[in-house]
Copies of this chain bind each other. A is one copy, B any other.
């Protein structure tokens, strides 16, 4: 299958990562076409780092990899939602999820 249309509107597509078991939202990162294809072919999440300007495999150094269970695109094909089996924790701070700063 060709999914290049997903990267026509936006080169970097915001990708929500959700824990397949708990349904907690773990993080949001960005995929470009190359990292998306790597995610599909390897079965593990890969993203594009806007600050480092390179592809990274989630957990490459920490071991906190994310095995992909399901991937969905949204109704207008400009956001991705990936259900994963998280090894360890998702956040670089050591928290399970990146969303721990409560505003309201």
Q: Which residues of A contact B (CB under 8 A)?
A: 1, 3, 14, 16, 18, 22-25, 27-28, 40, 68, 70-77, 79-81, 91-93, 95, 98-104
Contacts and interface: CB of A to CB of B under 8 A. Distances in A.
Contact of A98 (B70, B75, B99, B104): B75
A20 to B, nearest CB: 12
A23 B16 CA distance: 13
Copies in the complex: 2
Nearest to A93: B75
Given A18-B25, A24-B23, A25-B25, A100 B72 contact: yes
16 contacts: A14-B28, A16-B16, A16-B25, A16-B28, A28-B74, A40-B103, A40-B104, A70-B102, A71-B102, A72-B99, A72-B102, A72-B103, A73-B101, A75-B91, A75-B99, A80-B103
